[in-house]
Amino acid sequence: MLVVMDKNATPAQVEAVVAKVESLGFAAQPMPGGERVAVAILRNPGPVDPSLFLDMPGVLQAIPVTRPYKLVSREVKREDTILHLADGVELGRGRFVVMAGPCAVESEIQALTIAARVKASGAQVFRGGAYKPRTSPYSYQGLGKAGLKILQKVRQETGLLIVTEAVDHDSLKLVAEYADIIQIGARNMQNFTLLRRAGQLGKPVLLKRGMYATLEEWFMAAEYIMAEGNPQVVLCERGVRAIGEHARNLLDLATVPAVRRESHLPIMVDPSHAAGRRDLVSPLARAAVAAGCDGLLIEVHHEPEKAMSDGAQSLYPDQFDQLMRDIQTLRPGGWN
Ligand code: PEP
Ligand code: MN
């Protein structure tokens, strides 16, 4: 249920609705909109009687929410969410953001070299894992805290914002200290305690789609973050398990318009982890932009043949630069 307040409702009237919801044993989350505040009722096991609220001062409407996800849903919030990243960078409808960099932070010189190139090509955010969730325990696991310190240096030297992945509760605390955007990877999309904690830190969260996740499961994962009071979530499609060997995963571009229809959250695309091969990345990225996504996450490496992880799918900086030019023409009106 969504209790929609009148345009002129006072903060005290909103508070009274919140108190009423809590007195019923449910949770309430006020959601300020462009014109009016709405109060979402959460944790109610069944339908709530609208007449409990309709007579309260300042209440305009009480609308049942039919979807299992509430805060994520366009039923609850019609306007597109714009994420306010650090340094005035915005992400969301009409505010396109490119995040680029290596799969993993390997050394200071590696990170700074790649960062300078992706910045020159127009990326606003640097990506690079300090904690790597690897399929094999024998594969490179990342530099950990030392990697975060390198990312901090990248930020200081280039002004690029930082997105990096947290893989568990310990790394989450550190990532939140160093990163501008916390990445939750495909393998952790349903790590519910991690999602809750990520929702408590007050930093934007980039939530990858799990490799077997339906749209509804993905939305419910975002709901975990938002239910902790953090509305700053961006979804990122990165491909799902598929048949055939021609690509690592199947990039599901139908999610771009489908997410747009069902949710107000921004939707990004990561063609790199879908492709698994460098030659597929730019065509998929162009298709994602044409489909209307709000941003791209792209792996770039200056020496991919020496990369500690995902070298085969990392673009050379020149290829990334060409891609950035190509997508300009796909976005009439430029970047924003
Ligand atoms: C990554 O972006 O570095 C990554 C591991 O991606 P995913 O979680 O989509 O596999
Ligand atoms: Mn990778």
Per-residue pLDDT at 332: 59
| Pocket residues: Cβ below 6 A from ligand 1 | 103, 129, 133, 165, 185-187, 208, 238, 270, 273
220 Cα: distance to centroid of ligand 1 (angstroms): 19
Domain ranges in the chain with CATH number 3.30.70.1140: 2-63
Mean local confidence (pLDDT), 136-141? 92
Residues 6 or more apart whose CB falls under 8 angstroms from that of 100 comprise 118, 121, 123, 125, 126, 127, 296, 297, 298, 299, 300, 320
Say yes or no to pLDDT of 334 above 80.
no
185 Cα: distance to centroid of ligand 1 (angstroms): 5
For ligand 1, mutation pick of 114, 208, 281 (most atoms within 8 Å of CB): 208
Q: Alpha-carbon Rg of the chain, whole angstroms?
A: 21
Per-residue pLDDT at 333: 56
DSSP H helical segments within 87-168, as ranges?
108-121, 145-158
Mean local confidence (pLDDT), 181-187? 98
Percentage with pLDDT > 70 across the chain: 99
Distance in angstroms (rounded) separating the CA atoms of residues 235 and 287: 17
Mean pLDDT of the chain: 95
State pLDDT tens for residues 81-105.
Answer: 999 999 999 999 889 999 999 999 9
Say yes or no to pLDDT of 59 above 50.
yes
> Which of ligand 1's atoms lies nearest the C-alpha of 236?
9
> Which of ligand 1's atoms lies nearest the C-alpha of 183?
2
Distance in angstroms (rounded) separating the CA atoms of residues 104 and 77: 36
CA-based nearest residue to 183, from 293, 268, 245: 268
Mean local confidence (pLDDT), 112-136? 97
Per-residue pLDDT at 336: 44
Say yes or no to pLDDT of 335 above 60.
no
State pLDDT tens for residues 243-280.
Answer: 889 999 999 999 999 999 999 999 999 999 999 999 99
212 Cα: distance to centroid of ligand 2 (angstroms): 18
CA-based nearest residue to 203, from 238, 164, 167: 164
27 Cα: distance to centroid of ligand 1 (angstroms): 33
> Which of ligand 1's atoms lies nearest the C-alpha of 187?
8
CA 243 to chain centre: 27
Percentage with pLDDT > 90 across the chain: 90
Domain ranges in the chain with CATH number 3.20.20.70: 83-330
Mean local confidence (pLDDT), 308-318? 98
Count of CB atoms within 10 A of residue 114's CB?
28
State pLDDT tens for residues 222-246.
Answer: 999 999 999 999 999 999 998 889 9
9 Cα: distance to centroid of ligand 2 (angstroms): 48
Per-residue pLDDT at 32: 84
CATH superfamily name and code, 2-63 = Phospho-2-dehydro-3-deoxyheptonate aldolase; domain 1 (3.30.70.1140)
Taking CA atoms only, the protein residue closest to ligand 1 atom 10 is 186
Residues 6 or more apart whose CB falls under 8 angstroms from that of 283 comprise none
> Which of ligand 1's atoms lies nearest the C-alpha of 104?
3
Q: What CATH number should be reported for the domain whose range is 83-330?
A: 3.20.20.70
